[in-house]
Structure 1
C-alpha cells in the first residue's frame, strides 16, 4: 500500500510533541457501511443521515465526540479556576451537513447546560473550554460554530 503524505504546517498550527492517545478505526462501505475500532470497543453500523437505515452517521459521531470532549475541557477549566463542575453538566450538540456553492460543508451548535452556576462563571468556563477543547480548535475558522449557555 502506497502512503500519500501531505504536510501543511503554518505558523498557527502547533505540531503535537507528545501523543496521549490514538483512536484507530477501520470503516468499510462509507455511509452505508460499518466502523470498528482496533480495540473492539466501537462496533457500529453506519447509515446516511435521514435514511431508514439502522446505523448512526458521521455527523452524530462528530457531535457525540465534540460534546464529550467539551465537557472534559470544561472540567479542566473548572479545576484551574478551583470551582466545582456541576454533576449534571450536559452539552447538546447539533452538527449540520449541508451545501453551499455546490460543495458540502458542516456547521455546528453546542448548547451547554451548567445548572447551579452563576451566568458569569458558566460563560467563563465555556469560553475557556472552547479555547482548550481539541474539537473546538480543529473547527475554529473552518466551520460556523455557535455555542450557547442554556
Structure 2
C-alpha cells in the first residue's frame, strides 16, 4: 500500500530529485538504524533511558545533526551567491520533543548560528536567505516552530 501525502501550501515538492537517502529502522526508538548503502549504522536509545553507559543516539539528535549540517551548507551557499564574507560558521540545532494538547507529540527547533568575524547585519541577511533555501527549513515551515539566534560581529 502506498499513500502520498500532498505538499501543503507552505511547501513545494522537489521538481528534480538530486539525491535520496534510505535508512531502515527496526525496534523503533530502542532499536537500530542502518542506511541501505551500509555507510551509516546507529544504535537508537530512548531519551528517558539515556545514561552515562547507554550507547546510541535518538531521532531528535539525528534530526538536529541533519538540520544543522544542511543549514550551515545553505548559509555558505547564500554567502557565495550574495558575496557576503561569513568567515568560519557554526550552526547548533537543538530539537525539543514535547506533547501536544491532542495527546500526540511534536518538535520545536532552535538554530544557533555563529559567525564571529561576520558583521551582524550581513549575517542576519544571510541567515534569513538560508532559512528560505535550506530543505530542512522548507520541510518544517508552517508546522514546526523554528527559532533562530544569530551571533555575529557587533
| Same topology, TM > 0.5 | yes
Cα gap change, 1:125/1:36 in structure 2, threshold over 3 Å: closer, same or farther?
Answer: same
| Deviation sequence 1:3-44 (CA, Å, 0-9, x none) | 222242455542322111000111100001010011121111
Deviations along 1:102-126, one digit per CA (max 9) or x if unpaired, are 2211001000001101010000110
Q: Which runs of 5+ in 2 are unaligned?
A: none
1:38-53 matches, cutoff 5 A: 38-52=36-50, 53=54
Aligned 1:106-145 pairs, distance under 5 A: 106-145=107-146
Cα pair 2:86 2:123 within 8 Å, conserved = no
TM-score (norm 1): 0.91
1:54 aligned onto 2:55: yes
Please state how far the C-alpha of 1:100 moved relative to its aligned partner.
2.2
Match of 1:84, SS state, is: coil
Instruction: Return the TM-score normalized by structure 2.
Output: 0.89
Residue aligning to 2:75? 74
2:93 maps to 93
**How many positions carry a matched residue from both structures?**
147
How far 1:143 sits from its partner (Å)? Answer: 1.1
Higher relative contact order (CA 8 A, sep 6+): 2
CA shift digits 1:68-94 (9 cap, x unpaired): 00001001101111233323x101111
**1:30 and 2:20 correspond:** no
Distance 1:17 1:141 in 2: 20
**Structure 1 residue runs of 4 or more that deviate by more than 4 Å after TM superposition:** 9-12
- Superposed CA RMSD in Å reads 1.4
SS of the residue corresponding to residue 49 of structure 2 reads: coil
Whole-angstrom distance in 2 between the partners of 1:74 and 1:41: 26
